[in-house]
Amino acid sequence: MNIEEYLRKDYVTSLMREGRRIDNRKLDEFREIKIEKGYSSEKAPGSAFINLGDTKVLVGISMGVGEPYPDRPTSGVMTTNVELRPIASPLFESGPPREKAIEIARVVDRGIRESGAIDLDKLYIEEDKVWIAFIDVHVLDDGGNILDAAGIGAISALLDTRLPKYEDGVVIRGEWEGKLPITCTPVPVTNVKIGSNLVVDPNLDEEYARETQLTVTTTDVINAMQKSGIGVFSSEEVDEAIETSFKKAKEIREIIEG
Amino acid sequence: MEEIKMAEKDMKLIVNGKRLDGRNFDELRKIKMEVNVLERTVGSAYVEWGNNKVLAGVHGPREFHPKFLRDPTKAILTCTYNMAAFSVEDRKRPGPDRRSVEISKVISDALSSVAVLEKYPNTGIDVFVEVLQADAGTRCVSIVAASLALANSGVPMKDLVSACASGKIDGEIVVDLMKEEDNYGECDLPVAISPRKGDVLLLQMDGNLTRDEYTKAYNMAVDGSKKIYEMQKKTLLDSMVNFVEGEQK
């Protein structure tokens, strides 16, 4: 940790002792969320550009045709990939995704998959052919809380996604046949522990001061959870994080669907 | 083949109030633990848990590379989780995949939360976990084995790490899922705790759980972890007794 990070961490932590945040937000207050669906609509079947405070994430959905998994021969397939582009932070490097990007991708993936948000059974085309939904998260500016931005972006982009026309074994690019069937809106909420407080939606300074974090993805039930980072939670803190996550997800869902 | 698989999907996981392998809802599979099983590591452990077989070993504290990532205030603990190609029915392609990278990370995080890393600044402590046979719940088995190996290596720890998963099958909350339950169940909730304080060190979940089901499942996983903790303590104590008796002979 360099000296600037150390000082910021110290400042955030000491403010938090008085229950205050560096940008004067309430403990359970998100930064402003801006969602622009269809940002890359000329090419991509679905997309969404997300501003979560200073964090910028572009999510694109590609639809391909491929083989189903052998144990689910009539279900479509989804995959999630997160690219922490070097442009987003001096700390990110080029090359294949590493630990941090992989973890974010898998947590986002789990929320969408386990909630059944994409109706995969409707993505069957014919024997040995199903639609594959590729969710690609492109992180462009790291202002903190990439995970929630990626999760909000992924479901927003999926809600924006059109199903390409498919005729005689070929995908006809640029022509559409209805929307990708989406059944619900899972929303991840990351709760960060700083001192003895839990806060949502950490900005970059708060991430320096973070001890550990818990992401809870909810619909009307809990669909995914992930504790991440060195450090501990008490079971009461976990309960508190779950309550907060349900509450915040409801508010964010309205923004996504609105 | 496909017909069999389709049939399995509708398979009942609870028959006459018992699970497929005859267990009660709150009953763990058979577990065997041993430490100091390898020669070239500083500490090691072997855990059999149901049909899971997992070996863990520790190298270090030793020089950490690359140099610029060294931490002058503490050691960097890195756990590497690896599944043998033959550990599952469909051969797993050797080498790290996304799943094992993620599991490695969450285990590293959990162990780093209890190990007193400040004692070894600028060094690296490497914990290697080899899954030799897998049958659901390998991350819990791995973390239990890794924690034993770390304790066995002599790195001071504020507490052991104990772990256990719970989940939902046929609408019932049960502890320690085996393969069929994991594949066809509705939820998986692996939990690792530091048993003395009850702190949560690892918590993951996928599937669907209501708020109340979560509380029930969490408590069941913690109860399971506490049973594991007793076994871990006994394993470490027995190994010390054996060691002292060996010295005296």
Find the CB nearest A106 among B98, B104, B197.
B98
- Whether residues B199 and A234 touch (CB distance < 8 A) is answered with yes
Question: Within an 8 Å CB–CB cutoff, is residue B113 touching chain A?
Answer: yes
Average per-residue pLDDT in chain A? 94
Omega before residue B61 within 30° of 0, cis: yes
User: Are the Cβ atoms of A105 and B109 closer than 8 angstroms?
Assistant: no
Q: Which of B105, B199, B207 sits opposite A99 (nearest CB)?
A: B105
Interface contact A230-B209, CB threshold 8 A: no
Q: When comparing pLDDT for A174 and B61, which is higher?
A: B61
Alpha carbons B229 and B163: distance in angstroms, whole number: 8
On whether any CB of chain A is under 8 Å from the CB of B225, the answer is: no
Q: How far is the C-alpha of B121 from the C-alpha of B74, rounded, in Å?
A: 4
Specify the pairing of strand B14-15 against strand A212-218: unpaired
pLDDT at B243: 82
Q: Which residues of B are less than 8 Å from A117 in CB distance? A: none
Q: What's the whole-model pTM score? A: 0.83
**Least Cα separation, residue B193 to chain A (angstroms):** 9
Tokens 């970059």 locate to: A204
Separation in Å, CA B176 to CA A123, B42, B100: 34, 30, 20
Q: Do B2 and A73 touch (CB under 8 A)?
A: yes
> Is residue B75 within 8 angstroms of chain A, CB to CB?
no
B99 touches chain A (CB under 8 A): yes
Which residues in chain A are contacts of B226 at CB distance < 8 A? none
Spell out the residues 6+ positions from residue A63 whose beta carbon is closer than 8 angstroms to its own.
Answer: A45, A131, A132, A133, A134, A161, A163, A164, A171, A180
* 3-state secondary structure (DSSP) of residue A7: helix
How confident is the model at residue B9, as a pLDDT?
55
The b/e string for B26-55 (b: 16+ C-beta within 10 A; e otherwise) is eebbebebbbbbbeebbbbbbbbbbebbbb
Q: Which residues of chain B does A99 touch, with a Cβ-Cβ cutoff of 8 Å?
A: 101-102, 104-105
pLDDT value of residue B7: 46
A212 near B CB under 8 A: yes
**In the CATH scheme, what is the code of domain B23-248?**
3.30.230.70
| B109/chain A closest Cα distance in angstroms | 4
Name the region of A174 (left: φ>0; alpha: ψ -120 to 50; beta: rest).
left
The amino acid at residue A234 is: S
The pLDDT, as a whole number, for residue B6 is: 44
**Each residue of B157-215: pLDDT tens digit?**
999 999 999 999 999 999 999 999 999 999 999 999 999 999 999 999 999 999 999 99
- A2-16: b (≥16 Cβ within 10 Å) or e: eeeeeebbeebbebb
Interface check A238 vs B, CB under 8 A: yes
The domain locations on chain B are 23-248
| Tens-place pLDDT, residues A62-115 | 999 999 999 999 999 999 999 898 889 888 887 788 999 999 999 999 999 999
Q: Which of A147, A139, A155, A163 is nearest to A62 (CA)?
A: A163
Average pLDDT over residues B232-246: 91
| Arithmetic mean of pLDDT, B10-31 | 92
For residue A46, give how far its alpha carbon lies from the nearest alpha carbon of chain B (Å). 25
Which pLDDT value is given to residue A183? 97
Is the CB of B205 less than 8 angstroms away from the CB of A224? yes
Domain with residues A3-257, CATH architecture: 2-Layer Sandwich (3.30)
CB A159 within 8 A of CB A133: no
Q: What is the pLDDT of residue A1?
A: 59
Is A227 in contact with B200 (Cβ distance < 8 A)?
yes
Tell me what pLDDT residue B10 has: 65
Contacts of B98 (CB under 8 A, 6+ apart): A102, A105, A106
Among partner residues B101, B113, B222, which is closest to A232 by beta-carbon distance?
B113
**Shortest CA distance from A69: residue in chain B:** B2
Q: DSSP states of B30-97 as a string?
A: -EEEEE---SSSSEEEEEEETTEEEEEEEEEEEE-SSGGG--TTS-EEEEEEEE-GGGSSSPPPSS--
Pairwise CA distance, residues B106 & B146, whole Å: 12
Q: Which residue of A has its CA nearest to B185?
A: A114
Residue A42 has pLDDT above 90, yes or no: no
Rounded distance between C-alpha atoms, residue B211 and residue A90, angstroms: 40
3-state percent helix, strand, coil for chain A, nearest multiple of 5: 30, 35, 30
Query: Using a CB-CB distance cutoff of 8 angstroms, which residues of chain A are in contact with residue B106?
Result: 103, 226-228
Q: How far is CA A131 from the centre of its chain?
A: 22
B200–A233 C-beta distance less than 8 A: yes
Q: What is the pLDDT of residue B248?
A: 78
- Whether B202 and chain A come into contact, CB under 8 Å, resolves to yes
B202: nearest CA partner in chain A: A227
Q: What is the largest CA-CA distance in chain A?
A: 66
- The β-bridge partners of A225 are A216, B205
